[in-house]
Amino acid sequence: MPRGRARTRAGDGPSVSAAVGSSAAAKISRIRPAAAPAASARSLPEPVTPSARRSEEAVSEGILRALLAGRLRPGTPLRERLLAETFGTTRGAIRKVLARLGAEGKLVLHHNRGAYVPEPSDDDVRGVYDARKALEAGIVALLAGRVERPQLAAMEKLLAAERLAQREGRRDDAVALAGDFHLLLADCLGSSQLSTMLRSLVARTQLFVALFESSTLAACALDEHDAILQALRRRDAGAALAAMIEHLDCVEQRVLQHSARNRETDVAAILLGAIGDG
């Protein structure tokens, strides 16, 4: 990247282009369609081609991986021009992806300012986790009396994949798989309404975990997931409900503790810098 190009704020970590990685950009460069001839003023909009759709999917995948790995810090701006140059695609494609991620709650969109990595307050975190506790307590209470062996096997397989991702240090995959475990529980009930509601909440809390939860403490979630699974295996609704509430409480506290520690560190660094300049 040429010197002088836009960067994230000091202390926000690596640049956006470095965070999203070169592999996603390379993927787009291989599928980017040739430039279309200039259209007349009366011509209809060009249809979305398969190659353009794959380009948008690669951009979305690159941004999501960077978010879930915690490489993009809270408040980092995602500029259309920089992302288009990084991924080797058009600003129109970038705009579509950012709009979709904003609608899913994975980015914050400000009118005339663009897209930003969310900066949730403590109240935001508590509110979303309260909603998850209310919803998922009901899910496991119902599921305990209905769960089938193939569903339990699918949960076990998912936990094994999450454990492997943790062991291999694949932070983005581990965060995604942890969310998938909860979504699988809802899907097992066969209610599209429940699955849709939970998917929106999980998307937000996945970002909380990626942004604030320490990777060394994230492994605790595996044991907590296993406790839920074992309660379901015994068809013990009370134990499954208690395990779910305890798990979500623990994740919430880990997120809040790390978030507070980050803010305190930032303030200390600013004050020390001011003293040094005096």
pLDDT tens-digit profile, the chain (278 residues): 444 444 444 444 556 666 666 555 544 444 444 444 444 434 334 444 556 566 788 888 889 888 888 888 888 899 999 888 888 889 999 999 999 999 888 899 998 889 999 999 999 999 999 999 999 999 999 999 999 999 999 999 999 999 999 999 898 899 999 999 999 999 999 999 999 999 999 999 999 998 888 776 667 789 999 999 999 999 999 999 999 999 999 999 999 987 755 544 332 342 344 444 44
User: Phi/psi zone of residue 77: left (φ > 0), alpha (ψ -120 to 50 degrees), beta?
Assistant: beta
Q: Which two tokens stand for residue 138?
A: 């009901």
Q: Is the pTM of this model over 0.75?
A: no
**Assigned token pair, 249:** 């409480």
Give me the sheet containing 108-110, strands edge to edge.
77-78, 114-116, 108-110
Q: Going from the N-terminus, what domains does the chain have, and what CATH number goes with each?
A: 16-31+50-116 (1.10.10.10), 122-266 (1.20.120.530)
d(CA 252, CA 243): 14
CB 143 within 8 Å of CB 182: no
- CA-CA distance, 194 to 264, in Å (whole number)? 38
The pLDDT value given to residue 28: 46
Please calculate the CA angle 135-218-62 and round it to the nearest 5 degrees: 85
Is 72 in contact with 19 (CB distance < 8 Å)?
A: yes
Q: Could you give the residue ranges of the DSSP H alpha helices within the chain?
A: 16-20, 22-31, 50-68, 80-87, 91-103, 122-143, 149-167, 171-188, 192-212, 215-218, 220-233, 237-277
Between strands 77-78 and 108-110, the pairing is unpaired
CB crowding 188-224: b at 16 or more within 10 Å, else e? bbeeeebbeebbebbbbbbbbbbbbbeeebbeebbeb
